[in-house]
Amino acid sequence: MSAPATAKPAAAPGERPSGAAYVNLFIATLGFTLTFWAWNLIAPIAGPLGDDLGISSFEQSLMVAVPVIVGSLGRIPVGALTDRFGARMMFPLTSALTIVPVLLLIPAKESYPALLGAGFLLGVGGTTFAIGVPHVNSWFPPSGRGFAIGVFGMGMGGVALSGYVTPRIYDRGQNLPFAVLALALAAYAVLSWLTLRDRPGRQVPTTPLGGRLRAAARLRVTWELSALYAIGFGGIVAFGVYLPTYLKTWYELGATDAGTKAAGFSLLTVLFRPFGGWLSDRVHPSVVTSWALGIVGLFAVVQSFDPELNPLGTICLLVMAAGLGTASGAVFALLAQVTPQPRVGSVTGIVGAVGGLGGFVPPLVMGAIYSTKDSYAIGFMLLSDVALAGCVYAFGRMRTAGRARG
């Protein structure tokens, strides 16, 4: 179903996006949302599952972490495969494969080792980020890529959707969320196969997978973007994982209240991600990244002094959410500028993997510091240091990265 080699080339700098571009953006974002719901399927019901199995809190944490780690690392080969085979093949295939572990969770929930095995396979759902970014990037001209990739990035709201919907469906029937999501993924696999199209004239690499990954890994910007994304998206993941614990432990909120506030934090990061991309279409994305991380760093300093939750603590957390969401959108707008088009998938895979893994270090650090010092102040000061370092590097170095490529 791919277009012939003589078809229209990739989007030109001054070209307006076509209707097909917006259709592909919508279908890709829908798939990203559903597969991210699957990727986060275990976390919202980890408590009841753990209680039924009688496992420890550490074992529950491992059960939640396995699909996230696998999904993050899996973006590396999936991004390179997308460069070769295109999203038109990879999105339906990945969605269909994700159905298998979703359904396996029905019998697996009776056994902890089986849950870990199903969770390992569930990591497939977390790889679609590396499919959608190069696909959307190819359909939109440079002047509109930041906003388009930011809109696609809103699909990470699938994690928040899972957190809200999954436990409520689970209360109505312990097998019901798995059946509902499997049906949704199957419907999407068919829909994406019928409607998703690779950009006509898309550049297809002919070198082997290993060679493309090595070439992407040798690019300096790959690791620079990885570091910035580890701060932006890693910060989002870290707060998503640890914010309920922080609010319950430090501010003594109930589980429901803490979960609601954490959901508000996640929602704001989702909304500000396309804003970061849109702003990067008008201002150099390195400048947007720098300002966003600078704001995160400053408000992290304020939060380190343990202000009252209402109103100052809430303001600090929400401003940090907006800053992290903006930075995440801007980093991928920057990636679209500084990465050669045939390598966007490979670079996206590496950057996405590092960003996802970057979210698991801060919760461990925060937990260890609180256990030792009975305070979160040092943890927020460390967040401030890292964010301000990213602010300086993005402004000082990344403004010229695109020129070096040109």
pLDDT tens-digit series, residues 199-210: 887 777 777 777
The per-residue pLDDT for 9 is 45
**In contact, 145 and 137? CB cutoff 8 Å:** yes
Q: How far apart are CA 112 and CA 336, in angstroms?
A: 42
Window from 27-36, 100-109, 206-215, 261-270 with minimum mean pLDDT: 206-215
The per-residue pLDDT for 54 is 83
**272 in a domain, yes or no?**
yes
Based on the fold, state whether residues 350 and 209 are members of the same structural domain: yes
The per-residue pLDDT for 26 is 94
Based on the fold, state whether residues 190 and 214 are members of the same structural domain: no
| CA 257 vs CA 47, 244, 253, 262: distances in Å | 17, 9, 6, 9
Based on the fold, state whether residues 150 and 227 are members of the same structural domain: no
pLDDT above 60: residue 4: no
Q: φ, ψ for residue 233 (rounded to 5)?
A: -70, -35
| pTM across the whole model | 0.75
The per-residue pLDDT for 47 is 74
pLDDT above 70: residue 402: no
Residue-wise pLDDT for 203-230, tens only, equals 777 777 777 788 888 888 888 888 998 8
Last residue of a domain, one of 171, 196, 221: 196
pLDDT above 60: residue 2: no
pLDDT above 80: residue 176: yes
Confidence of residue 57 (pLDDT cuts 50, 70, 90): low
Distance from chain centroid for Cα 191: 23
Q: How far apart are CA 401 and CA 406, in angstroms?
A: 9
pLDDT above 60: residue 404: no
Last residue of a domain, one of 133, 161, 196: 196
Based on the fold, state whether residues 28 and 105 are members of the same structural domain: yes
Last residue of a domain, one of 151, 177, 196: 196
Confidence of residue 389 (pLDDT cuts 50, 70, 90): very high
Based on the fold, state whether residues 163 and 248 are members of the same structural domain: no
Based on the fold, state whether residues 24 and 125 are members of the same structural domain: yes
**94 in a domain, yes or no?**
yes
Based on the fold, state whether residues 93 and 233 are members of the same structural domain: no
**6 in a domain, yes or no?**
no
Half-sphere exposure of residue 380, counting CA atoms within 13 Å on the CB side? Answer: 20
**323 in a domain, yes or no?**
yes
Q: How far apart are CA 48 and CA 59, in angstroms?
A: 13
**125 in a domain, yes or no?**
yes
Confidence of residue 326 (pLDDT cuts 50, 70, 90): very high
pLDDT above 90: residue 90: yes
The per-residue pLDDT for 403 is 53
**In contact, 337 and 331? CB cutoff 8 Å:** no
Confidence of residue 376 (pLDDT cuts 50, 70, 90): confident
pLDDT above 60: residue 56: yes
Based on the fold, state whether residues 214 and 327 are members of the same structural domain: yes
**47 in a domain, yes or no?**
yes
Helix ranges restricted to H, 304-406: 314-338, 344-358, 361-373, 377-396, 401-405
Based on the fold, state whether residues 296 and 318 are members of the same structural domain: yes
- As for how many domains the chain has, the answer is 2
**274 in a domain, yes or no?**
yes
**156 in a domain, yes or no?**
yes
**In contact, 130 and 167? CB cutoff 8 Å:** no
- pLDDT averaged over every residue in the chain: 83
Structural domain of residue 32, as residue ranges? 17-196
The per-residue pLDDT for 149 is 84
The mean pLDDT of 294-311, rounded to a whole number, is 91
Closest CA to 78 of 40, 107, 108, 35: 35
pLDDT above 90: residue 185: yes
Report helix angle 57-85 to 46-53, nearest 10.
Answer: 130
Based on the fold, state whether residues 400 and 298 are members of the same structural domain: yes
Domain CATH number, residue 46? 1.20.1250.20
Based on the fold, state whether residues 184 and 102 are members of the same structural domain: yes
Based on the fold, state whether residues 181 and 218 are members of the same structural domain: no
The mean pLDDT of 183-199, rounded to a whole number, is 94
The per-residue pLDDT for 92 is 95
pLDDT above 50: residue 6: no
Residue-wise pLDDT for 247-290, tens only, equals 877 888 776 677 678 778 888 888 898 888 889 888 888 999 99
| Pairwise pLDDT comparison (21 vs 236), residue with the higher score | 21
